Amino acid sequence: MTDRVLLSIENVAVDLPTPRGNLRAVDGVDLKLNAGRTLGIVGESGCGKTMLSRAVLQLLPKKAMLSGRVMFDGKDLVTLDRERLRKLRGRSLAVVFQDPMTSLNPVLTIGTQLIETLQEHLELDMAAAKRRSVELLAAVGIPAPEQRLTQYPHQLSGGMRQRVAIAIALSCEPELLIADEPTTALDVTIQAQILDLLAREQRRRHMAMIIITHDLGVVAGRTDEVAVMYAGRVVERAPTQALFKKMRMPYTEALLAAIPKIDTAPHTVLPAISGRPPDPTRPLKGCSFAPRCRYALAGCHVEKPALTAAETPAHQFACFYPIGTEARVPA
């Protein structure tokens, strides 16, 4: 691990034109990730997590408008031409999408997709690329890897397809891996296996990684830092241990409360966050979470809080009445 900043997201905003008006999917996000470290980005569906990752990858929809800078290893990805971006993706910057059935080509064999990636980025000959493909499939826990090379994605289970997607992402030894909801649609035991696999490979290869999820439990033991997003903004960020030890944002508290507990009595109703996220085409004047926050006061509906440092500069939150404040009384 190193203190070298590998990825710097600087005041990034993403706007999408819609029939109902401009939709601000990402709103002025600032994040940094050092080489060899793992960042978790957490939030509900629609909060801007995936759109932020697509801004990093420069894979936004055609009509999307991007502002701000995305610096990767000293290069501004926003200003790079298409050819340089194509060479960067896969080689230095890789991604595991949430649905392997749509990210893998259904009409090409597993071997073709792996070998094609290795030949394109590492310029290996066919024999070397095939040997490397077998090694990669074995490394991600796929049995009989030689046989799998001749199979198509539909012949594999969901968990196996996701392992193949991870093998392809890792094939060129990237410096940064983005895992976007990598366990969606997988059963609980397979989810744990996939997350443990990613964590193991991250440590073994000393690469940086971003895990995007809606579940705080996923990032608890697998990340160095967590950024919580709501309505396109980062509302709390901190080193993982500091966040779970003393979270300051009511939204973060509500997310944690929604996670099922092992010692909870059977048939206990899970606490849910009341209301719905705000309409991104109709931004609120005050705090975006205020209509759903049981601690909100009158001022919360008038002014939008900025990220403020807590006990240390590394822990920041966007709340006028954070958890632990005397003025914080349930409405």
Which pTM was predicted? 0.92
CB atoms within 10 A of CB 269: 6
Pairing of strands 176-180, 93-96: parallel
% pLDDT > 90, the chain: 68
pLDDT tens-digit map of 135-181: 999 999 999 999 999 999 999 998 899 999 999 999 999 999 999 99
Which pair of tokens denotes residue 158? 């969901």
| CA distances, 106 to each of 96, 121, 203, 245 (Å) | 16, 22, 31, 45
State the CATH class of domain 5-92+172-246.
alpha beta
Closest C-alpha to 312, from 241, 219, 250, 255: 241
Task: Report whether pLDDT(329) > 60.
Answer: no
